[in-house]
Amino acid sequence: MSDFVVIIPAMNEQASLAKVLLDIRQYHNCDVIVVDDGSIDNTALVARQHGAIVLPHVINMGAWRATQTGIRYALQKEYDNVVTLDADGQHNALDIEKLIVASQLGNDLVIGSCTSRGSAGRHVVWKTIKKLTGLPVSDLTSGFRCYSKSAMQVLVSKQASMFEYQDVGVLLMLKHLNMKCTEVAVSMDERQDGISRIFNSWRAVIKYLLYTFILSVTKVSPISAKTYHNKLTSGGNLD
Regarding beta strands 109-113 and 145-148, do their DSSP bridges make them parallel or antiparallel, or are they unpaired? Answer: antiparallel
How many domains does the chain fold into? 1
**Beta pairing class for 109-113 and 181-185:** parallel
Indicate whether 162 belongs to any domain.
Answer: yes
Q: Flag whether 129 is in a domain.
A: yes
Q: How far apart are CA 171 and CA 173, in angstroms?
A: 6
Whether residue 238 is contained in a domain is answered as: no
- Report the alpha-carbon distance of residue 102 to residue 69 in Å, rounded: 24
Assigned domain for 103 exists: yes
Q: How far apart are CA 42 and CA 150, in angstroms?
A: 34
Residue 234 lies in a domain: no
* The pLDDT of residue 239: 55
SS3 string of the chain?
A: CCCEEEEEEECCCHHHHHHHHHHHHHHCCCEEEEEEECCCCCHHHHHHHCCCEEEEECCCCCHHHHHHHHHHHHHHCCCCEEEECCCCCCECHHHHHHHHHHHCCCCCEEEEECCCCCCHHHHHHHHHHHHHHCCCCCCCCCCCEEEEHHHHHHHCCCCHHHCCCHHHHHHHHHHHCCCCEEEEECCECCCCCCCCCCCCCHHHHHHHHHHHHHHHHHCCCCCCHHHHHHHHHHCCCCC
* pTM listed for this prediction: 0.80
Instruction: Measure the CA–CA gap between 214 and 113, rounded to whole angstroms.
Output: 25
Residue 237 placed within a domain: no
| 153 in a structural domain | yes
Per-residue pLDDT of the chain in tens (239 residues, 90 and over written 9) = 469 999 999 999 999 999 999 999 999 999 999 999 999 999 999 999 999 999 999 999 988 899 999 999 999 999 999 999 999 999 999 999 999 999 999 999 999 988 776 556 666 666 776 666 677 777 777 889 999 999 999 898 877 776 555 677 788 888 888 899 999 999 988 655 555 555 556 566 666 666 665 655 555 554 554 565 566 556 555 55
Domain that holds residue 214: 4-227
Beta bridge partners of 4: 81
Q: Which among 163, 158, 162, 124 is positioned nearest to 143, based on CA atoms?
A: 163
Q: What are the phi and psi torsion angles at 81 (to 5°)?
A: -145, 155
Query: Could you tell me if 139 and 183 are in contact, meaning their C-beta atoms sit under 8 angstroms apart?
Result: yes
CATH number of domain containing 56:
3.90.550.10
In this structure, are residues 156 and 111 in contact, taking their beta carbons and an 8 Å threshold? no
Instruction: Report residue 89 CA to chain centroid gap.
Output: 15
- Whether 233 is in a domain gets the answer no
